[in-house]
Amino acid sequence: MKIALAQLNYHIGNFEDNTSKIIDSIQSAKDQGADLVVFAELAVCGYPPRDFLEFDEFIELCENAAQQIAAHCKDIACIIGLPIKNTSPAGKDLHNAAYFIADGEVKSVVKKALLPTYDVFDEYRYFEPGMHFECIEFKGRKIALTICEDLWNINDNPLYVSNPMDVLIEQDPDLMINIAASPFSYSHDDERMIVLADNAKKYNLPLLYVNQVGAQTELIFDGGSLAFNKEGLLLDEMPYFEEALRIYTIEGDEIQGYAPKSHQPSSDIEQIYQALILGIKDYFAKSGFKKAVLGLSGGIDSAIVCALACRALGPENVMAVLMPSKYSSDHSIDDALDLVRNFGCKHEVIPIKEAADAFDGMMAAAFDGLPFNLAEENIQARCRGIVVMAMSNKFGYILLNTSNKSECAVGYGTLYGDMCGAIGVIGDVYKTQVYELAQYINKDGMMIPENSIVKPPSAELRPGQKDSDSLPDYDTLDKILFQYIELKKSSAAIIGQGYDEALVRRIIKMVNTAEFKRYQTPPILRVSPKAFGMGRRMPIVGKYLS
């Protein structure tokens, strides 16, 4: 039997495009002699559809699309993921399901049993777990079909009390297939590899795994569909961050034509780079946007965002706005212009001194007798926000936010100023990782100006200002933030690692008191195991750890 894995980029709620893409892949697989073609979890509607699932019409459109797809399954079968109605009056109204389609009709329905409700996942909000498990029979073979999380209950600390494969294995299947929508983080490919290999080994069955690719707002899906033999050895991995279709020949209990290989992952920074490019590209394409605007300061954060945008959208579609204040240094302007020349994007120079002075004059009576402080600094940052939003409104540009994760974590940014934007490009990238990204982008030539990399970071909102005036050095800050945010370590546990107690408590307090700011920032492209946004839900007024 020949089975094709179709690793595609879906668009949530775009039934016409998703259906057309699936039908085209069915035909392509058929032309290459495949007997069965397999698509990802919720492929018909895109993942995650979230509260679209609460609309009856949305579910009806999914079913209509499935019937259109079924009409093309002649002399070839397919597996597609979609939400379906729960026919029982008890429980949630929907199932996260897969259709096995052959001879133009739905032959079998598989319902996802293990519904993740952690980090970015919230499936039990919508779906009722499947409770009955049967193998699919096709061409004299039995296929144990599972949906994403159904294979993830295999570690030392299982989240669920049951395991679909423990039931399916009793039916003597010949092959496991798992369809997934598994979001990217820079460590997730290694975890995925271990979990799937352990399943193949435990059940002594070959395993084919298909993942979707593409970005859905902040979530990025990296593809990397996989094939394992029954010993749990990796045979093949499909490309990452791009669409692909690949056919595997199954004879007996073996996948033919592949020798075991080891997983050779790209570096974390290369994966982050590829994910951010895809995230920007899909955010714009799927939203119907083409042109981006950002404030370009001459610093490393905005330089990285500008570079990524130019490579994702083309430099002709990127507008960099230089907004020097009276405290900006000449070299900052020169560094920004060097970057513009290196990438070839558009640019405007719009000084903010007059605007900031006007606000200072307007507020003079109210501020009479009070020294210059954060209020005046933030006025300048908000002047910049007004400028880039004016460019957005006038020309239809979409504003890219340039705040990094270290700044987002401790609230080092100005609401309605440098924290505004439609999408946070590097808001899940620590400052130390930003420097690594600069090195990666410069690996084939100096594109990010050296001075943007080596000069001390500064917001340039007062004379001689440096980030280090307000923050610990980024190397130490990022290590403590990682322990607290990604690893969820307590202050006592972090202090126990040898960090200064006062520093740790200060940083954790800054993180927690900045929660109200993060509630008002744009969605952030997720590249880490624990990103700000939908995957990290903290109370604003909570006392604990603050």
| 501 tagged catalytic | no
Characterize the bridge pairing of strands 2-7 and 244-251: antiparallel
- The answer to the question of whether 279 is labelled as a binding residue is no
| 112 tagged catalytic | yes
Residues 156, 213: Cα–Cα separation, whole Å: 29
- The answer to the question of whether 287 is labelled as a binding residue is no
Cα angle for residues 228, 48, 312 (degrees, 5° grid): 85
Residues 14, 56: Cα–Cα separation, whole Å: 16
Q: Which of 41, 149, 218, 237 is catalytic?
A: 41
- The answer to the question of whether 468 is labelled as a binding residue is no
- The answer to the question of whether 300 is labelled as a binding residue is yes
- The answer to the question of whether 402 is labelled as a binding residue is yes
- The answer to the question of whether 298 is labelled as a binding residue is yes
- The answer to the question of whether 36 is labelled as a binding residue is no
For the CA atoms of the chain, what is the radius of gyration? 26
List Cβ neighbours of 485 (8 Å cut-off, separation of 6 or more).
409, 511, 530, 536
Q: What share of the chain is helix, strand, coil (3-state, %, to 5)?
A: 40, 20, 40
Residues 326, 99: Cα–Cα separation, whole Å: 63
- The answer to the question of whether 296 is labelled as a binding residue is yes
- Helix axis angle, 300-313 to 268-287, nearest 10°: 60
Quote the strand ranges of 113-212, DSSP E.
136-138, 141-147, 175-180, 207-211
- The answer to the question of whether 517 is labelled as a binding residue is yes
Strand partners, 321: 295, 348
Residues 274, 95: Cα–Cα separation, whole Å: 33
- The answer to the question of whether 314 is labelled as a binding residue is no
Of 405, 537, 535, the closest CA to residue 480 belongs to: 405
Q: Whose structure tokens read 């020169």?
A: 334
Q: Which of 45, 73, 148, 383 is catalytic?
A: 148
Using CB atoms within 10 A of its CB, is residue 368 exposed (0-12), middle (13-18) or buried (19+)? exposed
Q: Which of 111, 112, 281, 489 is catalytic?
A: 112
Of 340, 376, 381, 350, the closest CA to residue 361 belongs to: 376
- The answer to the question of whether 378 is labelled as a binding residue is yes
- The answer to the question of whether 299 is labelled as a binding residue is yes
Write out the binding residues for deamido-NAD(+).
378, 407, 517
Write out the binding residues.
118, 182, 295-302, 378, 402, 407, 517
Write out the binding residues for ATP.
295-302, 402
Write out the binding residues for L-glutamine.
118, 182
Please list the active-site residues.
41, 112, 148
